[in-house]
Every structure is written in C-alpha cells, then in structure tokens.
Structure 1
Amino acid sequence: MEPDGALEDLKDADVILIAPYLFGAHRYPEAIPELVPLLIHQHKQKVRIGAVCTAAFILAQTGLLDGRIATTNWQVSKTFIQTFPNVLVKPDRILTEDNGLICTGAATSQYHLALHIIERFGSKALVRACSKVFLVDPCRVSQTPYIIASFKKNHGDDKIAEAQRWMETSYQDTLTIDAIAERVGLSSRHFKRRFKMATDETPIAYLHQIRIEVAKQKLEGTRKNIDEITHLVGYEDSGTFRRLFKRITSLSPREYRDRFSTL
C-alpha cells in the first residue's frame, strides 16, 4: 500500500483508521509518538477515529481514551489494562464507540468496523446487504466465546505454582479451597491472598476457568453429552455447569458446540 499524502496535510476527513501492528515488530516505532498530536487535532475537528485490534494502544497514547469505553484484541487486553489504567476496557466486546473513538477486537473484527462505518454514513439496509455479500454476521458482538484462558505462571511464588499444578491436574476431583491451601502448607486466608496477588485471580475463579477450558475442548472434539462432560470436569450438577459455562463464554454448552465443533 502506497500513501498518497501525509496525515498532517489532511484538510477534511470523515474517518481516520489506524491499522494494527505486531508487538515488537513495528517498523517505525519512532513514528507512533509523532501521530499523537495529529490524532488529537483531528479528534478536536470532530473526525471519527477508528483503531483496529492492537492499534488501540496507539490511540490510547493520545489520552483521548481516558475515561472512555474501549476494547482491543483479547490476547493483549491484560497488557492494555495495565498500560492504560484510565481507559474503561471492555475486553469481551468486538467493537466499541465512545465520543467518536472506535476500537475493535482481534484483526478480523475490522469487518464489523466496516459495517459500523457503513451504518454511520449509509443505512441499516446497506449494512444488511453488505453483511450478506461479505458473509459477516452483524449480530456477533462479543469476543468472549473465542477467548482461550491463559494462566499467569511467572510470578515466582513456589507454593502458589504448586497449587496451580495440582488444580490443573486434579480439576475433575471434588476440590475445596481449604484442601488446596492445606496441601501447600498455607492457611486458607493467607492462601487466598497470595493466590490473588500471584495470579490476578481468586482460587475459585481459577479452578472454574480450568474446568471450563477443558469442557470447551471436549465440546469441540468429542461427542460426549453435556451431563458426561459436567462430571468429567469436576461438577456434580449440570445446571451449575451450564450457568458457569454461559457466564464465562457467553454461550450455552450446546451453542458453543454448534459453533466450534470440529467433528
């Protein structure tokens, strides 16, 4: 792609879009700070600014997102939250717009950004037509079903690491937080505090994430029914499992299987 002009020479625009980039692989990192005053100026001129995927990091450097709702690729959302604590990050959303600042989730959500812009400057009828032509589901609003749980391990707390390993290999058993704390030689209260400090998760939330991640794999790659999967991942009641699964993934187990099964 060859540019035909410079941003600082722009006189009139409806939308400015910032392309995503790979972390550590930006060819011209020194150019990013140069964009900041230009983007701020354009926003003052009431120009909408859209950041695709990781480009939200560039937009956030302007300060324009402080106190505003935003999203980004779910894989880097924790880093984004730590880097820009004043931004109201909604990592589950595919697209957000707040005060003319548009952010999207992972790179393919650029198609939803395109539909969003078409609706702003065109019509809902045009959006429906384009979504059919380009096979884009305009009703898909959440990244949550696509998120793969990742667990913080490089925290340096050996006792918490031991607890994590045990939870990850014994999730199918009836585990209590008190029993896990006792196994690693800590009081329950101290264990909960250290676990949260080390992993950014409570022990029970961590255990639920492990179980739901295994359940997702079984829904994707086996024909086991929901009751079987419930017991295989450590829950006794399928109703409890279904509620937790929906809360974490935004889909019911059956909806998840229909969307992601590889069989």
Structure 2
Amino acid sequence: MSRSARASTVSAARHVALVALPDAGMATLAGIYDVMNAHALMGLVNTPARAPFQVEIVGEVEGPLGLASGVEMPVQRTIDRVESTDIVIVPSLLVRGAGWQTGRYPRLVDWLRRMHARGALLCSACSGLFLLAETGLFDGKDATVHFAYARQFAAVYPAVTIHPERVLVIAGQREELISSGASTTWHDMVLYLVARFAGATDAQALARLFALQWHQDGLTPYMTFEGKVDHGDAEIAAAQRWLATHFAVASPVDEMIKRSRLAERTFKRRFTAATGMAPIAYVQRLRIEDAKRRLERTDTPVDEISWRVGYEDGAFFRRLFKRTTGMAPGAYRKRFGIPDFARPS
C-alpha cells in the first residue's frame, strides 16, 4: 500500500511515545511534542479526538525529569506502563566528554526492542540514534546522525552505515526505522510522519504554521570539513599543519612534497592512507571551506574569493564549489550570509 493510501485510510489516532531521558535536550523534545500535538492545540481539527496523533512523554520514572539542558520535563507515563505504541521517538541527546557510554539504559533498550517487535516505528532525532542503535535493530541498515557526532558514532556502532549528509533515512522492511540528521532536521522527520499518517495537506499546513523547513538541499552545505589528524603519521601530520595556512599557494601539493622527506609516490600514498583523501582533494576541501567563511561573513565578489583561495579560473571554482557543497556560491551566500539587520552598525 502506498503512503498516500495508508494516510487516507487512517481514522484512529496513532500513539506516539516521546522518550525523555537525562541526556535529552529541551528544544527538540518540546518542539516535537508541540508540532505533533498541533492539530488539537492550533485548532486544525474540529475536536481533539480527531487529531491524528496522541503524544505522550515517556521515561523510566514518572514525574519531573532533569534534562541535559538544565531544565525539568514532566514524564507523563513510565515505559513499564506502555505495553504497545505506534511510534517511538528518541529526541536529540547531548553526548559529552568521553562520548556515549553504552549500557546505561538497559530497561529503555529492552523496551525499545519490545515496541519494535509489536509493530512500532523507531525514530531518532539527531543524536537520538545513539540510544536506538543499542537495540541492534539498526545493524546492517542505513541511518543518519548529526555530522558532528559521525566519527564518534561510527566508532561505537560500526555495524550501522551512517550518512551524516542526509536529512532523513528510512530503513527496515516496514520502513519502520527512521533517523533524522543534524539538529532541526527533526522538522523533516515530523513532517514526514504527518504526511505518512495524516496526509501531505496536513504536513504542508503545519510547515506553514510553524515556518518549518524541509531541508531539501541536504546537510552537506552545513558541514564543516575537518581533516583526519589522529592517524599517527608524523610526516603527513606536519604536511597537514603547513597546508592549513598555505592551501592558497600555487601548486600546494608539489610544495608539500618538496617540504617532506618522502618521494612523490610515497608521499601521496601515505597522505591518502592517513587522511582518507588524495592530497589534491584535501587541498580542494580546505579551499572550499575558506571560501564558505568568506561568503558567509563578507560581501567580497565571488571571483575575488576564488582568487584568494587559490583559483584563478572563477568558472572552475564555481563548479567545484557546487559539486562540494551542493549549492552555487551565490545561493550559499544567500542561505548562510549574515543578514543586514544582524550586522553591527
């Protein structure tokens, strides 16, 4: 059955269990709660009984729960009292210091497995995937997570194939494993769920009402390039440090090789093995990253930015910029540049 057909046949409200735990952030949890309750709250249905979702905040213990944001959120029902649900959503989690420590929430993980076995969709917003991945249900599946946590997540859960550049990933035989990427891509996840179970018209109405964004350009434009430096090759690390401030010079790869104590083929082989990128590709990413900052913070013409980061051919720079970020330089500036009203007078 198609998603539109599924949505059109829905009459009863879907139960949504929104998981609260001490690592959760306030903004995502509260935002999801309000938007998925908006049919009743904002008068989009004649009576609350006709709302497509019944959202409850659930957790291990009922009552006020201190969140990572430093504020309390009331847990409305304990997971022990939730025998089944249609949709489980784990909101953004704050992963600090040494990283995500597995095994801290065995009751939650067991409950998540049971809910999935009884037919529930399992959804993560941003870093909520850290908890869901403990179930093992995402092993061998595609998913997305906040790009800032991508390396850390891959180290903890190597069996999950992550795509941090993607906004939303839907996996599983029943399309029941849903993950959204960085931060406010919970907008896309919630709008997807509304479209799937209440219809596209409702999803569009909520997007307008809350000014929610569909991140249709993906997350690549938001991602900041950080070259791998924990590889243990001192010669390549020295080359990377030099390149960080000299990427705009003419023929930077040749310069790096000259400055090293290695033969050209050996240098290129070791650089690629250490960083995961060929030297010229690494240079291009550094140049594009610098160009992004200039587009965001200045009114400098694109051709001049092209020259300043190391490209005399402005047309080549524009093609490379769009291939790397998914957006043309002008469109990128329009999206991420500081608006006039926010600039110091």
TM-score after normalising by structure 1: 0.91
Taking the aligned partners of 1:34 and 1:217, their CA distance within structure 2 comes to: 45
Match of 1:5 in 2: 77
SS of residue in 1 equivalent to 2:288: helix
Alpha-carbon contact 2:243-2:252 (below 8 Å) kept: no
User: 1:79 and 1:221 mapped to 2: Cα distance?
Assistant: 30
Superimposed CA distance per residue, residues 56-91 of structure 1 (whole angstroms, 9 cap, x where no aligned partner)? 111112121122120000111122223322222111
Establish whether residue 201 from structure 1 lines up as the match of residue 277 from structure 2: yes
**What SS does the aligned partner of 2:212 have?**
coil
Match of 2:117 among 38, 44, 65: 44
Give the 3-state SS of the residue equivalent to 2:75 in structure 1: coil
Tell whether the 8 Å contact from 2:188 to 2:215 is kept in structure 1 after alignment: no
Aligned partners of 2:100 and 2:130 also within 8 Å: no
Q: 2: distance between equivalents of 1:206 and 1:155?
A: 15
Distance 1:27 1:246, change over 3 A: closer
Aligned length: 263
Confirm or deny that 1:80 pairs with 2:153: yes
8 Å Cα contact 1:95/1:141 also seen in 2: no
Answer with 1 or 2: which has the greater Rg: 2
Q: Which amino acid aligns with 2:273?
A: M
**1:182-225 Cα distance to aligned partner (Å, 9 max, x none):** 21111122212322333333222211111001101111122222
1:96 paired residue number? 169
Once the two structures are TM-superposed, the CA of residue 98 in structure 1 deviates from its matched residue by: 0.9
Return the match for 1:22 from 94, 109, 119: 94
Q: How does 1:141-180 map to 2 (within 5 A)?
A: 142-180=218-256
CA-atom RMSD in angstroms: 2.2
Kept in 2, the 8 Å contact 1:177–1:188? The answer is no
Residue 118 (str. 1) matches residue 194 (str. 2)? yes
Q: Match of 2:150, as an amino acid? A: S
Residue 246 (structure 1) aligns with:
322
Pair 1:209–1:140, CA change in 2 (3 A): same
User: Residues 210 and 195 (structure 1 numbering): CA distance in 2 closer, same or farther, change over 3 Å?
Assistant: same
Q: Which has the higher strand share?
A: 2
AA in 2 matched with 1:18:
V
Shift of 1:16: 0.4
- The 1:166–1:218 alpha-carbon spacing in structure 2 relative to 1, beyond 3 Å, is same
What is the alpha-carbon distance in structure 2 between the residues aligned to residue 109 and residue 128 of structure 1? 16
Q: Superposition pairs for residues 228-243 of structure 1, below 5 Å?
A: 228-243=304-319
1:128 is paired with a residue whose SS is helix
Kindly state the Cα deviation for residue 29 of structure 1 after the two structures are TM-superposed: 6.5
SS at match of 2:122: strand
Deviation, 1:27, is 11
**CA shift for structure 1 position 237:** 1.7
1:30-69 equivalences under 5 Å are 30-69=103-142
The separation in 2 between residues aligned to 1:241 and 1:208, in whole angstroms, is 10
In structure 2, distance between residues paired with 1:81 and 1:175: 34
Q: TM-score, normalised by structure 2?
A: 0.71
Specify the code of the residue in structure 1 equivalent to 2:238: E
- Aligned mates of 1:24, 1:40 — CA distance in 2: 25
When structure 1 is superposed on structure 2, of 73-82 and 196-205 the one drifting more is 196-205
Partners of 1:162 and 1:27 in 2: CA distance: 31
Q: Give 1:254 deviation, angstroms.
A: 0.8
Aligned-residue offset at 1:121 = 1.4
| Residue 137 in structure 1 maps to residue 210 in structure 2 | no
Gaps of 5+ in 2: 1-72, 341-345
Q: Which amino acid aligns with 1:174?
A: A
1:178 deviates by 3.9
Q: Tell me how far apart the structure 1 counterparts of residues 168 and 327 of structure 2 sit (CA, whole Å).
A: 18
Deviation at 1:158, TM superposition (A): 2.6
Is 2:187–2:214's contact at 8 Å kept on the other side of the alignment?
no
What letter matches 1:224 in structure 2?
A: T
